[in-house]
Structure 1
Amino acid sequence: MHGKVYDYGFNIRDLRRVIAVAEHRSLRQAALALEVDQGTLTRSIQALEPDPKVFEQYQPVVIHPSLRRDGVNGDMDWYCPT
């Protein structure tokens, strides 16, 4: 006997793609690892994330040495711009 089957709106392939993007932190690298076209991967991720987003786009932030944990503000654990 089997229990109920639930439709969560995604399948194992989608889950593998999300995990690959998270692990590689790059759509291009994840697409290479999965051996799929980057556009295909992008569209499949977009189809999963109407709102809220699965992945937030961000730009790397360079932190001045004086703001690092071992710098002048030693009590600052991390920096997150708003």
Structure 2
Amino acid sequence: MATRMLYFAWVRERIGVGEETVDPPASVSDVGALVAWLATRDEAHAAAFADPARLRAAVDQAFVAMDAPIAGAREIAIFPPVTGG
């Protein structure tokens, strides 16, 4: 199933695009596996996703943990931690 990916801040800068549509294999069932799969796409994705511990995610605009399932997701956003102040 095709999913709209959104990238923010330095993730977007490293990949070179703010969004793309991807169709991960059926074996990719959660956000962490998706990030690992995306890292294999090319050098830019590998650089952006080299340290998954530095990333946060949202599935259909709801913040989620990296082990959150992605089945049925229409939109997944990947971004660095947000700071407030």
Instruction: Give the shorter-chain TM-score range.
Output: under 0.3
TM-score (ref. length: structure 2): 0.27
TM-score (ref. length: structure 1): 0.28
More strand by share: 2
Structure whose alpha-carbon radius of gyration is higher: 1
